[in-house]
Amino acid sequence: MQVIHSITELRHRLAGQEQTAFVPTMGNLHEGHLSLVREARQRGGPVVASIFVNRLQFLPHEDFDRYPRTLARDVELLTGAGCDLVFAPDEAELYPEPQTYKVQPPAALPDILEGEFRPGFCTGGCTVVMKLFQCVQPRVAVFGQKDYQQLKVIAGMARQFALPVQVVGAPTVRADDGLALSSRNGYLGQSERHEAIALPQALQALAARARDGRAPREALEAEAMAALAARGWAPDSLTLRRRRDLLPPSEAERLAGEPLVALGAARLGATRLIDNIEC
C-alpha cells in the first residue's frame, strides 16, 4: 500500500481510474473505520483512504490540538484491511492559503443537532469533503452512520452539486458492550469508559418508546436527557427525528410509523460522545 502526501502525486497515481472508492477519515483508526474500507472494497475499484485532521470542523475550544495523530499505526491497519492507497496531506498541502471559499449546507440541516452545539462543524466538514473529492475523484465514497447528520449533509451536497460520486452509508461498529467505536473513546478514563454505555442505552430506551402515544415526543426526550444528567452526564441533546431530513416528526407521523432515528450527543467529563439508533 502506498502513502501519498501531495495532491499532485495523488492525481498522477490515480489518473484514468474510474472506479475509485474513497473513505475519508481523521485517522486514529479503529474497527469502525476499517469496516468502511471493507465496504469500499466490495465496489471493485481501488480503495483510497484519507487521513487528515480538519481544523475547519473544530471550534477554537475543541480538541483539534490533542486529537490523536497515529499515522504509522493507521497505515498498518489500512494495509491489513486491504486499502490500496492512503492520502495523508499535511495542512500546508490541503490548505496552502486560508480556505475562505466554503461549502455552505442549507440552514435547516446544520443549524440543528451537531450544528447547534458545534457551529461551523457542518460547513467545515462539507468543505473538506468537497476538496478531498476533487483530489481523489472517487466514484463511491463510504461514510459511517455513526455520524448520522454528517452522512445526510454529505449525501445532500453530492446530490445538489451533481457530484459524480455515490455516497454510501455503513452501519455503526460497536464494542461488545454496545458503545459505538470512536477515536474520542480514547479520552475516557477507565470508569468513564464503563459509564459510556449509558449513552447507547439511553438511546435504546428512547427508541423503544418512539411510538409511545401516552407521552409527547418532547417529554420522552426530556426524560432521556434527565436520566443521563442524573448519572453525571451533560447531555447536549437526545432527540427523535425523521430519518429523511432530521426534522422533528409530527405526532401523527411518529405514531403512524414514519422511519425515525434517535440521536444523542452528551458530554461525559471532558469527552463529548455522539451516537444514534434507527427506530
Where in the sequence numbering do the catalytic residues fall? Answer: 33
Q: How many CB atoms lie within 10 A of CB 96?
A: 9
Question: By C-alpha distance, which of 107, 156, 109, 148 is closest to 129?
Answer: 156
- Which cell numbers hold the place of 130? 468537497
Smallest gap from Cβ 125 to ligand AMP, in A, equals 8
Q: Does 35 bind ligand AMP (CB under 6 A)?
A: yes
Cβ atoms of 232 and 270 closer than 8 Å? no
Scanning the structure block, which residue is given the C-alpha cell 455552505? 104
Q: How far is the CB of 57 from ligand AMP (least distance, A)?
A: 9
Check if the beta carbon of residue 35 is closer than 8 Å to that of residue 173. Answer: yes
Q: How far apart are CA 133 and CA 140, in angstroms?
A: 10
Closer residue to ligand AMP in complex, CB, 133/209: 133
Site string for ligand AMP, 162-191 (x = CB under 6 A): --------x-xx------xxxx--------
Out of 36, 48, 49, 126, point to the residue binding ligand AMP (CB under 6 A): 36
Residue number, 52 or 233, with CB nearest to ligand AMP: 52
**Pattern of binders to ligand AMP over 79-108, x per CB under 6 A?**
------------------------------
33 sits near ligand AMP (criterion: CB under 6 A): yes
User: What is the C-alpha to C-alpha distance for residues 113 and 151, in angstroms, rounded to an integer?
Assistant: 13
Query: Is residue 143 involved in binding ligand AMP (CB under 6 A)?
Result: yes
If one asks whether residue 146 binds ligand AMP (CB under 6 A), the answer comes out as yes
Residue 270's alpha-carbon distances to 59, 63, 107, 120, 232, in angstroms, are 15, 10, 29, 21, 12
Binding site for ligand AMP (CB under 6 A): 25-26, 32-33, 35-36, 143-144, 146-147, 170, 172-173, 180-183
